[in-house]
Each structure stands twice: as structure tokens, then as C-alpha cells.
Structure 1
């Protein structure tokens, strides 16, 4: 493999490489997220011991009770921790919903259904709409978790190359949609209940009765698709591809990837399985129409928290991927028997093993952080401080986005970061009138925009390899120089869109998501 070199014509390539190498070295010194949560758990224990000796005059909102920090290292408190460790873990809100959703997604992915769907969409796109369709498909691929990284990004290079365009531009556009627009998607996926679970747990530090809907940001993330597609389309065609005009494609022609034709069996399998999924959607719709539908609550409401339909969102995600995945597998021949379907689920769960380990320590940390009273103290004092500053609402939201985008360079896991930040941001901003739903939306914007410029992203080196198929001298600095315009412009435009969406929503009632609000308490 040749040494990485400047291939985009940027005069600052060497400086960029040196900066990125420094970031990588610093980032590699951070502990593993699971160990980070374990360390934070110990820190919370000792902080609770220290602060338990102080008396605070700060009042808990809505009561006359002063904030009190509990010593978690006292005999009774530590006994409580040990005796409830198992139920704390099994009752961790994000754990069950993520694993259930991933079982269905895993079958659809491993049967080949999702990959065929992506190829059919891209193969039938008019040349003039190649860029926006590629970015849109990359956005939708979030539903299949890693499918976008392993299918859409390399396919973007293949399709651009076949169309006579620079393949690195196709890879950049797909990478921008898959990773830079990670939180823009009109199709619900496992990330929605995952983040909501952390948000709800954090909000309950202040309001124990508060419940959130897994689709609490769905309207905003759906509208964000238009922003990401439009901005990504402009940057790819007007900024990125012109910069690549003098970059010579010198990859090995014999190893240059080509678009594989979808055979008739795969095509037939896709349309049959899609028809089955559509039939299921029709039957579900018909089942909720009657006023006495069992999917409604006793008052006949479909969208209420206690409506079976709303409580079934995660199981429905599971079924709407499982059923077409199984049908596709049997028709296409990727599944020969039920054992292989179960193996697909098992392989998916193998990939979730690390998440389960991380969730164990995360559940313990969040539970102990809540029981310590430190979260309430930090939230109330932080809220009072923000109220004293009297910053404009847009400034507060923009500050959250920028801070998260910066942290994301060093710690890529969306769930790990939000597990750390939610217990601080959500209760604190509730004190100045921001709803947990809106705070989560701001987090999701910041968590997305810097994914594409950090070498610490697990798939970043893989994208470099994709580029090297076409331009041998591609290095980390090259890829970052390609993606930096997307990251900066996404940060600015998407943040402005969030603020505008919020202000319009307050004025017109435009929903942020399902059963969500912009203010706390809800207006």
C-alpha cells in the first residue's frame, strides 16, 4: 500500500494530517466506554460521600424540600445497590427495546432483503438525480444499522464511477448521508427508542412520572432529511467533485469494483417480500380504524401513551423487518430452513454483545447517579445559573449542538455519549423550560455532524480503504479534507434549521414528533 498523500489539491493537507494524528493519539487515550461508565460509577460514589456532609439551601422544583445528596457508600445504600443490581440492569429502559428491534433488522439484513432494496433504488435512479438519491438511500440505510457503511458507501463509488463521475465524490456523498446525516431519517429505527430511553431516564430525575414516546423526534428527523439531501447534493456537485477534477484515478483496473446485476430470483424475492410487508401495513391500518379497536386505549385514542399501538412501536419495527426478511430469504434461497433464520438472529445478537456489556455499567451508573441526588443538585443549580444568564433560547440550543459535536470527535458512540450527557443536559434544561424532546433533538444534530471527520469512528478506516480502490494515495487527511465541508455546513445549516423549526413549532403547533413538546411543562 502506498503512503497516504495529498490528492485533493489542498495546500493544508500536511497540517491537517498532523492535527488528525494528534486527535487520534488523544482519543486513543480515552478509556473504553464500558470502563468509562464503571469509572464514573466509582466517582459518583465518592462524590456522594463528600457532598453528603454539606447542607444545601437549593429547593427541589415544585417542593419546599432542599436538595440533599445521599451517601451511596453508607451501609444501607450500598446494600441496596448490591441487592438491586440485577433488576437495575434488566430494567434498563434502552436494553430491551434495542435488542428486540435488532432481532428483526438482523434477519432482513442477513437475508439480503435490505441490500437488494438499496441496489434496486440506486440502479433505477436517473443520472441527474444520482447524488440526491444516493444521499437519501444512505439516510434510509440507518434503519439497518451498519448496512450503510458496508453497502451504500462502497456502492456510491461504484455507481459514480460507472456514470463517468469521480468515484471519491460518490463515496463522500454516501458517507455524508450515512454518518453525517445519521439523525436524519423518516423511517423509525432502533436508534429512536435507544436515545429516548436515556432521555426518559434522565428526565425522571426531575419528574418521576414523565413518559416519552420513542418517536418523540420523528417529525423533526423526517424534515431533516430534506435539509441533509439538499445541502449534501449542493456540496457534492458544486464543491467536492470540482475539487477532485485533477485527482487521477489510479486504482488497479482488474480489481476495480463493478455493479453486479440483480438476478431474477433476487428481484422476484424482493417484490414478493415487499408485497407481504405492504399487506401487513394495510392490515395494521385497518385494525386501528374501528373506534373499538384493541390497538386504541379505553378512551379510543390511538396516540396516547397507554394505547397498545404506541406501546407496540418497537415490536412493530421488529415485525416489519422480520417478516419480509424471512420471506425474502426463503424465496431467494439465502434461507433454507428455520435454523438459518435463528442463526441470523444469533449473529445479530453477537454483534450486540459489546452493547450489552456497556449497558450493564451504564445502567448502574445512571441508577446510582439518580439515587445520589447529585443529578438533581447539578440540574437545579445549572438551571438557576442559566436562568441568571438569561441567554436567548437559540443560543442555548446552538451551544448544546456545538458542544456535542466537539465531544463526538473523541467519543463516537451515540448511546454512550447520551448516557453520559442526558442526566446533565435534560434535567438542567427542564429547569429553564426546554422539553426533554427538544434537548434530545439538539443532541442528535450535534451527534451527527462531526462523525465524518473523526478517525475515531470505527468505520472511518474502512471508508479510507474504499477510496484507495480508486486513488491509491488516499489517506486519513484526504478523507477528512473531503468531508470537512459537509461537517461544517451541516453544523451551521442543521443547527439553524433546528432553531427555526423550534420557533415555528412554538408559533404554529408544528409537531417535533409523536406526543412530544417544545416546553416543560408542556403547554
Structure 2
């Protein structure tokens, strides 16, 4: 960095940086999410024992009788815990959802198919539309879990640098799209059934028979790509990049970066064939849904109800439609020579999920304990009573939830862990206010995504700092946070307003969704 450059955060010891330092210190003191769930489970046990002898006046809507807290430290409850520990884990819905989807995504990712697809999408874009293209590709990359962090973000920096634009602007736009727009996507992905499974479990605390569609937020998530792209596009081109050119000049002769690798003719041919196979498979499959007697319809002929086999096949379809092009591409390029190579690709994808599996074990035990204790129902009923007493408009309540989630996200980065923690409280509570689980989940998606890009506790945050340092030496976490803070605040505000507008018009949030419970 040249001597005349000033960091984006011009007052290193100011109140703003001290606040960020405080957030980082507090966040670093939190235990790993797996241990956090263990601590919470023990806490639920103790609290349930303390409250089990108290007579509450709150009426349980499931039984129309006063709510009762069950003592989880009783001999019967502890015996039940031990005998059901294994099945509680194996029956934990988010576990199977994520692992099955990742098997197919792993085959496509390890073959190189996804990387080639992303490169081709960015390559054919005119320079004046480069920023929105980067953002859209970042949003779409969510279908391949972490591919956006390791492919789209660094590639965006290379592309911006290659065409004469500021590379840090490209990195920031891509980071905002990949992480700030994490819960938005045109294409259904593993995020949808993952969140749905937590939402349904939370809703069943109040209504055991309720079912939530895996694509209950699809339409809202797809429409959200519009304001997200426009906001990031404007901030990148009109505010961030002009400022970066003044404060963080990039000298081409000092950049030690290899040229962007071109897609070879063999890879391009393989990509076209693999994509054609995938499209044919999609068309062929959905042609099976056309007949009224299709086995993919429910008994009433619906394709979108929760009981419809098509809706229950969302995760297997994600697995199949990623695996097919991955296999074709891999064999045509030589990435896969034998079936053992394919199995190895799946194994590598699973190895990256090892921490999630550990977290899921403790999360499953906590969720089961929280549900069995009736504490969730008690908090929901009492909390809803408090909210009703405040007589707040539903819109104000939903906005309050969004900002709460955004704040919690600074300390608990995992989307699934966070929703597993607060979903069992917020979803039933809002149901008591006649706000549907679908709307609660949509509000969660907004709050969860918006603050991803300003928390150093996000696992890929340090990696993005390294990407920036390729072009400007000396950049640290504080600089990246100051770059991304305008994006975070704008996304939180504009996306919240977008949800309110969407809600006021009455547009469907997704398949089988509603606004009112």
C-alpha cells in the first residue's frame, strides 16, 4: 500500500472499530456450535426440572389445558434419553437432507463441471454488466454450497483486474452476492429443505400435524435476487469502486497473480454434452408429471402439496441432477476414469461435512430435549402473550425478528445452527400471533444473510481477506469489514422493505405457503 493511501476505516481507534473488536472478542469466546448445543441441552434439563412443579395459567393450544413443563431429569426421562439417543440422531431431518444433496453436488464439483459452468457464465458477460453478472453468479453458486467462496469470489477479482477495473470491487461484489445474498436464489437448492426441516420441527411444537413445504419460500427467494443485485450493483459501481481507486491503488506490476485460466476445448465440449444430458433428464422427468394420473401427484392430483411425491423428492432430485452432469463431464475430461474415482469424489464431499455431522448429533439431542420439555411451547405462548400486550403491528414484529436474527448472526455464523437455536422459540411464538411458519422462515432468511459479510466469525471471512491481499498488501479484517458494512446495512434495510412490499401485495412466498397461520 502506498504512503498516501488511507484505510477505509479512517479512525482505527474510534468507536466503530472498538465495537467491531468487542464483537470479535465476544464471538471468539463462544464455544463451538456442537458444544453450544450440548451446553444448551444440559441447561434445558436443569430448567425443566426447576419449572416442572410450577402451575402455569397459559393454555396449551394443543390440549386446551394449562401448559405443563416436563422434568427431563426424572428417571423415566433419562432412560428415554439413553434408549432413543441413536434414533434421535439418525431421524434428525436436516442430517439426511444435507448429506444426500452433498453426495450429488460433490460429484459435480470434484469433476470440475461446476467450476467450468461458473467460468463460462462470467466469460460471456459484457463489461458494463460485469458487476450484476458477478452478483447473480454468486447467488446461483449457493446450489453448490461453498463453491462460491472458493471459485466465484477469487475469480471475480481476476476478471475485474483483467478488464481494468478495481479487483477489490469485484471481490466485494462477489462476496456480497455469495454471502450477503446467501438465502436468495432462482434455483431451489439444499438450503430450502434444510431450513424447511427446522421450521417444520419448530412449528410442530405448537401444531404436531402441521407440514411445511420444502419450497415454501422459493418465489420470495427468487424475487429477492432483483433488489439484492440492484443494491450491490449500485454500491459497487457508484460508491465502493470510486473510493477504492482513491484509497487503495492497485499497481499492475506489483500484482503476482497468474492469468485467468481458459476453459480448454475438451472441457468446453464436455460441459456442453454434460449440460445437455442434465437438461434432457430434467425435461424427461418433469414430463412424467404432466398426466393427471402421474404417480408424482398426491391423491387430489396436486404436484405442490406436501404429500405429493414430487415435493417429497426434492432432495433426491438435487442429488440426481447434479450427479448426472458431473459423471458425464468427469468421464469426458478424464477427471473420472473408474467408478472408484466417483466414490472418492463423494467421500471427499462427505469429509467436508464431518464437522456438520458432529454438530447435527448434538443439535438433534438439544432439539429433542427442548421439544420434550415443553419449554418451547411455554416460551412461545408466554412470549406471544407479551407481544400481543404490546399490540404491535405484525409488520413491526416481523421486522424486529429480522434485526434480531441479523444481530445473532454476528456471533453464531452457521445458518442451520442458528435456526435450530432460535426457530423453536420464534416460529411457535409468531404462530400464536397468526403469523405463518412460512413467513417466519422468510424473515429469517433476510436477517441471516444480511450480516454474513461483516462478521469475522464467518469461516470464509479470513479467506476473502487473503484474496484482497493479492492486490493490495496490508489489508486486514478491519478493512474488509469497512468495505462490506455498507452492503450489509443496505441489504438488511432494502431486503426487509422488499419483504413488506411482497407481503402487502399478497404474492405467494412459495409452494404451499401462506402468510397467516
Bin for the TM-score computed over the shorter chain: over 0.9
1:119 aligns with 2:93: no
1:483 aligns with 2:484: yes
1:446 aligns with 2:443: no
Matching residue of 1:321: 322
1:494 aligns with 2:495: yes
Between the aligned partners of 1:66 and 1:5, the Cα distance in structure 2 is: 69
Aligned residue runs from structure 1 range 227-242, under 5 A: 227-242=227-242
Between the aligned partners of 1:312 and 1:49, the Cα distance in structure 2 is: 41
1:93 aligns with 2:93: yes
Between the aligned partners of 2:66 and 2:505, the Cα distance in structure 1 is: 37
- Would you say the 8 A contact 2:255–2:470 is kept in 1? no
1:149 aligns with 2:137: no
Distance 1:77 1:5, change over 3 A: farther
**Shift in Å, 1:18:** 4.1
Matching residue of 1:52: 52
Matching residue of 1:266: 267
Cα deviation digits, residues 45-94 of structure 1 (max 9, x gap): 01010001111121112643110011111111111111111111111111
Matching residue of 1:310: 311
Aligned residue runs from structure 1 range 13-28, under 5 A: 13-15=12-14, 16-28=16-28
Distance 1:9 1:199, change over 3 A: closer
Distance 1:348 1:252, change over 3 A: farther
The TM-score normalised by the length of structure 1 is: 0.96
Matching residue of 1:138: 138
**Shift in Å, 1:303:** 1.5
Matching residue of 1:202: 202
Between the aligned partners of 1:37 and 1:328, the Cα distance in structure 2 is: 41
- Find the residue that maps to 1:116 and give its secondary structure: helix
Equivalent pairs counted in the alignment come to 515
Root mean square deviation of aligned Cα: 1.6
- Find the residue that maps to 2:65 and give its secondary structure: coil
The TM-score normalised by the length of structure 2 is: 0.97
- Would you say the 8 A contact 1:4–1:476 is kept in 2? no
Aligned residue runs from structure 1 range 187-226, under 5 A: 187-226=187-226
- Would you say the 8 A contact 1:251–1:469 is kept in 2? no
**Shift in Å, 1:20:** 2.8
Choose 298-307 or 226-235, whichever is displaced more: 298-307
Matching residue of 1:516: 513
Between the aligned partners of 1:404 and 1:302, the Cα distance in structure 2 is: 33
Distance 1:374 1:62, change over 3 A: closer
Aligned residue runs from structure 1 range 65-104, under 5 A: 65-104=65-104
Cα deviation digits, residues 438-474 of structure 1 (max 9, x gap): 1011111111111111111111111011001101121
- Find the residue that maps to 2:249 and give its secondary structure: coil
**Shift in Å, 1:378:** 0.6
Matching residue of 1:109: 109
- Would you say the 8 A contact 2:8–2:479 is kept in 1? no
Between the aligned partners of 2:6 and 2:449, the Cα distance in structure 1 is: 26
- Find the residue that maps to 2:370 and give its secondary structure: helix
Choose 4-13 or 294-303, whichever is displaced more: 4-13
Matching residue of 2:167: 167
Cα deviation digits, residues 182-231 of structure 1 (max 9, x gap): 11111111111111111100100000011111111100000000111111
Matching residue of 2:375: 374
Between the aligned partners of 1:499 and 1:130, the Cα distance in structure 2 is: 30
Unaligned regions of 5+ residues in structure 1, if any?
Answer: none
Between the aligned partners of 2:29 and 2:388, the Cα distance in structure 1 is: 36
